[in-house]
Chain A
Amino acid sequence: MSNKKGVKLQSVSKIYEDPKTKKPFYAVKDISLDIQPGAFVTLLGPSGCGKTTTLRMIAGFESPDSGEIYLGGEAINALTPNKRDTAMVFQSYALFPHYNVFDNVAYGLKLRKMTKDEIHRKVMDILELVEMTGMESRMTNQLSGGQQQRVALARALVVEPSVLLFDEPLSNLDAKLRVTMRTEIRRIQQTLGITAVYVTHDQSEAMSLSDQIIIMYKGEIAQMGTPREIYYQPSDEFVADFIGEANFINGRIKEIKGDNCLMEIAGHTLTLPSPKKHPVGSSCRMVARPEAVLIGKEGVLPCRVTLSCFMGAYHFYHVMLEDTLIKITDYCPVNKHTFQAGDEAWLHFEDNCVHIL
């Protein structure tokens, strides 16, 4: 598809009125982002953080209170949804119940004044892409959830929009189908090279699908980056806590030596990658993922095991480092020593896996 375009939001804000207190509040506050053509970007965040609102502003259903939205360099603030080159896939699928599968998919094409043959060809092609061939004449209520989702996707794709917008498209499906469908969506998006903005609050979905993840919190962008960056270098405690499991450990920087620094934790000193923002002598907080904390009979930090639990793929520990609780997932536990609750043990960290906030 030749017409892929990027999306740019420039300090976009949206104010809503609280229905109860009548007080205005920012549903989206001063968001700026730049989505490259062909990229798959996910908006991720807890419920009510403004993901849907952002998406609906891009689609044109809501008008921003301030800021500009650009589609492929063109300002589209004043365009109505039907004039915007975007197509949305809704959480509830929003299929037209009075049309069959074919007519649902053909709806957008008919509005574009194409010949019957052309419409037929395009619809068939897209149905093949979403693997729904042979179901053209079914009514939508005769389809399973996954099939309905495919039709909804086909209906959005067939009009060849510059940008595809997804609002939690998989949340009505069961867990297994979600995994299948998300790989499907990614496959189709990559086949067509179309720009996609995807809203979800399922982090594994975001991780597996995206080129870029945007973490939102209370209407603002908390962090923007690749899945790896978000996971290993979270910008703050909220992001670290929101994505995956995180241990927070307090420490004090003793010395900075080039790329490395000496950090004092619970009275012990260890070498870590240098922090960016903190000067020597200041205290700071570190994030360590449970699988990046290693437990053994020797290490740098002494601790006491308070919980020990075999989980199959890994062994799960709670340990106390002074008065900080640390969770550890010890993968491939077969060949390793198993600690019991009450045991003394030693901790150290996987290289490059501890991030100083």
Chain B
Amino acid sequence: MQRTQRAKLERRKFFSDPLMVGVILILVIFLMLFILYPLAMLMTDSVYAPDSYSVYQVSQSPEEIKALFADEGKDVQVLSVDRKTVLQLEDITGLTLTHEMGKTASTTYMADILKVELPGTTVAVKNDEGLLSLQSFPHIFRDYTFRRAFTNTVGLGMITGVGAMLVGLLFAYVDCYVKTRSRVMKKMFDIVSLLPVVSPPFVLSLSMILLFGKAGLVTRKLLGIYDSDVYGLSGIAIVQIMTFFPVCYLMLKGLLKNIDPSMEEASRDMGASRWKVFTTVTLPLMLPGLGNAFLVTFIESVADFANPMLIGGSYDTLATTIYLRITGGSYDTQGAAAMAIVLLSMTVFLFIVQKYYLESKTTATLTGKASRPRMPITERSVTLPLTTLCALASAFVILMYVAIPFGSLFKLWGRDYSLSFKWYEQLIKADGLKAFKDSFILSFVASPITALLSMIIAYLVVKKRFFGKGFIEFVSILAMAVPGTVLGVGFIRGFANGVFRTGFLQELYGTGAILVIVFIVRSLPVGTRSGISALRQIHPSIEESAYDLGAGSGKVFTSVTLPLIKESFFSGLVTTFVRSITAISAIILLVTPRYLLITTRINEFAEKGSYGVACAYATILIAIVYSAILIMNLFIKYFGTSKQVREAQKDVQQKRREASERIENL
């Protein structure tokens, strides 16, 4: 069978639409340059050093060498590697070589080739030629700091993953199965699941310190504990569980809703107890879903930077270790790059497992809607403990959030609990307004670009056929699995000296533009996802008919597609704004003193122990984010069309069904 004609025709049709070709080209370039390229740079950095050292053993003594080189006016540096002395020279003319030790990428790794004891003096000469070697990986795996960070990260991920999944399951189960005094409970559930969305990443860490730290309101004032230590694993785990469980709750709720109650009723009929039904019917059905929730949380936890930074104490994770390597004194680029690669491979691998294996399994086991509503459980022996647990957890979460505004209003947390605006005044004095302005403007610029880009990507992916579509979809969704810290390091490696270290686009580095680009990259996957699912709801014939009536793809997009997914576009706008203004992990590595950002300032003040100012920042930030979300909801309520569209679609389907039934009846 011949297919060449079709391929040729499709190609001609494709190229007859320059707008689309151009947009696709721009998208591909954007994704390559700002997602793939930095990661690729990290990857090469971890295995390739642009310059290297050749190490030799010579028979002269150090003093002889120094004297010789001093005569010729050449420089000699004395390095200490692993308690051995190495002389770094410009060349080795005039010295007697006794042994060639080999090459190494940096002085950090020199110890590896100095294992053997040989007579004479060790000297190193810097070469211009690059060195390709896998040295960095065994090196970091031998590095105690890294190994501890690695086990810490995995351990934390496990605890947080399981914890968030369980709390999420509790909430979802109570929401779907248990009869509650619904109004209050419902409201509480809504609040609890919204809070983590509106809050900047480290707000919970902050209030954890305020409430349960050394000077904690609860620990010291109420319980009289003077040596409470929230820093460390338990602190981060609690904070992360509270941050991530609402996501699990929403995911699992969706699943539980889809379980057909008749399955459980059948089991009840045969005499099984509630607990038995839960363990033999509900739980097995949920298993892939629980695995999914666990993995999503695990990835989030592993990628989290802000909380371990603030409340981790000495419990370093990969993200914080990489950050410290980059910003700290020992500038081991290759090591940091290798660590980033380890972290990246971990998240990407789990993400792919989650996305392509578990997600399909989840939907496979639970297909179709429940046929009718479920009879809620009313026995007090079940409802009482479960609702109490939920209420306690919610109260705890709400308490944590309430602590922040109070933290900003109390004169001196731990000592003087009288109200004052002094922290706000201090905030304004310390360039606070500039921080708000910068954060606001940068996020404000990033939002429409991201929203538009993600809608365009969604449109292309769902409605168009072209070469490279798989690439665009994969990369823009994959960005979700890239931890912010890794992206930040990638951007440093990739752009600090221009693209491929050629100086091209070097001006970008250190500007607001690169911050905006990071915001875009960080939010693009979320927007694209929501755009894709919105577009899948729209019957292809609607766009086809516009196309058929003479509209080019640009016109179809602006006059039909975009208005139909207005809601998704707008929520992309606000989501990007919220995510950007609360972002820290990648940004903290890239921001220059020219820009003050709210989040980095909160981090600074909290590190210094100025919790009052940090709380003042956080309070205002929460207020901004919350208003943005309010505006979005208002907009969707009054201007949203999607509901109308969905109804129209349902209408058509309904009528079609009726018509075909009627035909069958005839």
Contacts and interface: CB of A to CB of B under 8 A. Distances in A.
Our verdict on whether A and B bind, yes or no, reads yes
Interface of A: 15, 24, 26, 59-61, 63-66, 77-84, 86-88, 90-98, 107-108, 111-112, 139-141, 145, 152, 155-156, 159, 171-175
B544 interface: yes
Contact of A64 (B5, B551, B651, B656): B5
Contacts of A96: 542, 546, 560
A172 B563 contact: no
B526 to A, nearest CB: 25
Nearest to B657: A172
A262 B126 CA distance: 108
A114 to B, nearest CB: 12
A65 B559 CA distance: 32
Contacts, number: 124
A63 B9 contact: yes
A332 B660 CA distance: 32
Contacts of B641: 97-98
28 contacts: A61-B547, A64-B5, A64-B9, A65-B2, A65-B5, A78-B12, A79-B13, A79-B16, A81-B547, A82-B548, A88-B548, A90-B544, A90-B545, A92-B539, A94-B539, A94-B541, A94-B544, A96-B542, A97-B542, A98-B564, A107-B559, A111-B555, A141-B647, A155-B549, A159-B549, A172-B652, A172-B655, A175-B662
B296 to A, nearest CB: 29
Contacts of A66: 2, 5
B545 A94 contact: yes
A175 B666 contact: yes
A175 B651 CA distance: 18
Nearest to B662: A174
Nearest to A165: B548
Contacts of A108: 549-550
A322 to B, nearest CB: 34
Contacts of B647: 141
Contacts of B552: 82
B16 A24 contact: no
B662 A86 contact: no
A160 B16 CA distance: 24
Given A65-B2, A97-B645, A81 B544 contact: yes
B491 to A, nearest CB: 39
A141 B644 contact: yes
A95 B551 CA distance: 15
B569 to A, nearest CB: 13
A61 B544 contact: yes
B1 A15 contact: yes
B656 A172 contact: yes
Contacts of A98: 563-564, 641, 644-645
B663 interface: yes
Interface in B629-666: 641, 644-645, 647-648, 651-652, 655-656, 658-660, 662-663, 666
Interface of B: 1-3, 5-6, 9-10, 12-13, 16-17, 539, 541-542, 544-552, 555, 559-560, 563-564, 641, 644-645, 647-648, 651-652, 655-656, 658-660, 662-663, 666
A87 B548 contact: yes
A26 B549 CA distance: 29
A80 B544 CA distance: 11
Given A60-B13, A172-B656, 9 more contacts: A63-B9, A63-B10, A79-B13, A88-B545, A91-B541, A96-B542, A96-B560, A107-B559, A111-B551
Contacts of B659: 171-174
B653 to A, nearest CB: 9
A198 B514 CA distance: 55
B550 A92 contact: no
A59 B651 CA distance: 26
B92 to A, nearest CB: 64
Given A64-B9, A80-B16, A171 B544 contact: no
Contacts of B563: 98
A98 to B, nearest CB: 5
B344 to A, nearest CB: 34
A24 B2 CA distance: 11
B16 to A, nearest CB: 6
B645 A111 contact: no
Contacts of B663: 175
Nearest to A108: B549
A76 B251 CA distance: 49
Contacts of A172: 652, 655-656, 659
B443 to A, nearest CB: 29
Contacts of B546: 96, 107
B607 to A, nearest CB: 50
B295 to A, nearest CB: 29
A108 B544 CA distance: 13
Taking each of B17, B641, B651, which has the highest tally of chain A beta carbons within 10 Å of its own beta carbon?
Answer: B651
A196 to B, nearest CB: 15
B551 A82 contact: yes
Nearest to B666: A175
A3 to B, nearest CB: 15
B2 A90 contact: no
B556 to A, nearest CB: 8
The 4 A-B residue pairs with the shortest CB-CB distance, nearest first, are A108-B549, A63-B9, A94-B541, A94-B545
Given A64-B6, A65-B6, A96-B542, A80 B549 contact: no
Taking each of B3, B546, B548, B660, which has the highest tally of chain A beta carbons within 10 Å of its own beta carbon?
Answer: B548
Contacts of B550: 82-83, 108, 111-112, 159
A11 to B, nearest CB: 11
A78 B549 CA distance: 17
A80 B13 contact: yes
A80 B1 contact: no
A81 B5 CA distance: 18
B3 A15 contact: yes
Contacts of B544: 61, 81, 88, 90, 94
A63 B651 contact: no
A88 B550 CA distance: 11
B655 A107 contact: no
Contacts of B16: 78-80, 83
Nearest to A111: B550
Nearest to B560: A96
B656 A171 contact: yes
Taking each of A80, A83, A112, A139, which has the highest tally of chain B beta carbons within 10 Å of its own beta carbon?
Answer: A80
B303 to A, nearest CB: 36
Nearest to A145: B655
Contacts of A175: 662-663, 666
B549 A111 contact: yes
Taking each of A26, A152, A173, which has the highest tally of chain B beta carbons within 10 Å of its own beta carbon?
Answer: A173
A297 B548 CA distance: 61
A80 B644 contact: no
Contact of A24 (B1, B645, B662): B1
Nearest to B13: A80
Nearest to A167: B541
Contacts of B551: 82, 107, 111
A65 B655 CA distance: 35
B564 A92 contact: no
Contact of A141 (B539, B560, B651, B666): B651
A105 to B, nearest CB: 10
A59 B550 CA distance: 11
